[in-house]
Amino acid sequence: MNKKSMYLVLGVAAVVAAFLLGGVANLFRAEETTARPEFVNVYTSRHYGVEPVFERFTQETGIQVRFTTGSDAVLRERLRAEGKNTPADVYMAVDAGNLWLAGEAGLLAPVESQVLSDNIPSHLRDGGNRWFGLTRRVRTILYHPDRVSPEELSTYEALAEPKWQGRLVMRPATHSYTQSLVSSLIAAHGPVRAEGIVRGWVANGPTLIDSDTRILEALAAGQGDVALTNHYYLGRLLQANPQFPIRVFWANQNDRGAHQNISGAGVTAHAQNRANAIKLLEWLATAGQEEFASSNHEYPANPKATAHPIIVGFGEFKADTLNIGEFGRLQAEAVQILDRAGYR
């Protein structure tokens, strides 16, 4: 074989080899693309009813949700410790104060989403778009109708009156629900009057129980007459027992309205699946909104969505429209007030 023929054969062989290798590489890439499912990883303290909601999201989008549960503060500190190595794409919390703290610590990234802006009212989301409220949790007055008339009730502030001596059941100062409620008092009245209200509560000798469910069960058992809890705990108890005797009273209807907090979420600063994380938040705010809210008897954040029938039965009410980011900004001051007032 002459040199010309040999070069021609070698050239053809090289082309064929390159084609075959390229085909194999493309095949591997295609297999990798089709075999690797889409994921979004969620750190969440909102654990009631999330699994079926996430399963529906997967059915509708093909994106699988992997989630880790824990308290707001523990998950926030885990995010901080993991830094750039965190697997979490979404941080979901049950208190606006903790979401605010996560945002201020640089743990959440801004999200520009017309879907979220159009469906979540501005007072229920961060001004910098780092987190968004997805459901509303109203902390209000609960009472036993055999021992209290609704005409006796009015405001959070009025529970500091001496007539409630020995009759209150409340959550301890260490819980974020209590801290956010006191933050709302600071926003409404300033720190001096807010501290006076808290001192009035303390003077009435409240029974402190670190569980809203157990607080309501204590009321039902006669261990107190009036309590402050989130509304959905009563919804759950009524779901299990429609004859459960405790009733809702919507606080502060003649002024700012009942105190509300949120379950909400933000995309983490180091999300590896950022696009999927945004899709999850947008879906929870729209197509999945009613199921997500109803799974825990919470009120939807999206005003176009319908609430669970049990809590619709609680009646219409006026809610405080204070931007809930204030609960985070004022949290440290609220903790100081609780401590000075002797609220433990």
Q: What is the pLDDT of residues 136-152, one digit of tens each?
A: 999 999 999 999 999 99
Report the alpha-carbon angle 304-309-312, nearest 5: 70
**Rounded mean pLDDT, 186-196:** 98
In a domain, 178, yes or no: yes
Residue 161 scores a pLDDT above 50? yes
Going by C-alpha positions, the residue among 270, 257, 299 that lies closest to residue 91 is 270
Q: Are residues 85 and 95 in the same domain?
A: yes
pLDDT of residue 178: 98
Residue 14 within a domain: no
Distance CA 122, CA 324 (A): 10
My answer on whether 201 and 254 are in the same domain is yes
Query: What pLDDT, on the 0 to 100 scale, is given for residue 286?
Result: 98
Domain range for 242 is 138-259+328-340
Indicate whether 30 belongs to any domain.
Answer: no
The whole-angstrom separation of Cα 243 and Cα 34 is 53
* Average pLDDT over every residue of 169-173: 98
Q: Measure the CA–CA gap between 186 and 337, rounded to whole angstroms.
A: 10
Instruction: Provide the CATH number for the domain around residue 224.
Output: 3.40.190.10
Q: Give the chain's mean pLDDT.
A: 92
218 and 166 housed in the same domain: yes
pLDDT in the model for residue 199 = 98
| C-alpha span between 126 and 130 (Å, rounded) | 6
Q: Is 126 domain-assigned?
A: yes
Q: Is the distance from CB of 261 to CB of 140 less than 8 angstroms?
A: no
Q: Tell whether 190 is covered by a domain.
A: yes
165 and 232 in a common domain: yes
Same domain, 291 and 169: no
In a domain, 5, yes or no: no
Least trusted range by pLDDT, from 19-33, 135-149, 181-195: 19-33
List of E strands, 196-305: 207-208, 226-230, 247-249, 259-268, 299-300
Same domain, residue pair 210 and 334: yes
Question: What's residue 36's pLDDT?
Answer: 63
Q: What share of the chain is helix, strand, coil (3-state, %, to 5)?
A: 50, 15, 35
Per-residue pLDDT, 71: 95
24 is a domain residue? no
Q: Read out DSSP for 277-298?
A: HHHHHHHHHTTTHHHHHHTTTP
CB 218 within 8 A of CB 207: yes
Q: How far, in Å, CA of 84 to CA of 272, rounded?
A: 10
Hey, what are 223's tokens? Answer: 């261990």
Average of per-residue pLDDT across 194-203: 98
pLDDT, one tens digit per residue, over 87-125 is 999 999 999 999 999 999 999 999 999 999 999 999 999
**How confident is the model at residue 48, as a pLDDT?**
87
**Domain shared by 129 and 274, yes or no:** yes
- Cβ atoms within 10 Å, residue 316: 6
Give residue 13's pLDDT: 45
Q: Look-up: residue for tokens 């075959």? A: 20
Model pLDDT, residue 20? 38
Whether the per-residue pLDDT at 9 is higher than 70: the answer is no
Same domain for 214 and 149: yes
> In this structure, are 237 and 332 located in the same domain?
yes
Check residue 287 and give left, alpha or beta (phi > 0: left; psi -120 to 50: alpha): alpha
Asked whether the predicted pLDDT for residue 69 surpasses 60, the reply is: yes
Same domain, 251 and 284: no
pLDDT band, very low/low/confident/very high, at 271 (cuts 50, 70, 90):
very high
Q: Examine residue 17 and state whether it is found in any structural domain, yes or no.
A: no
Count: domains in the chain: 2
pTM of the model: 0.89
**What is the model's pLDDT at position 37?**
79
162 and 103 within one domain: no
Whether residues 296 and 216 fall in one domain: no
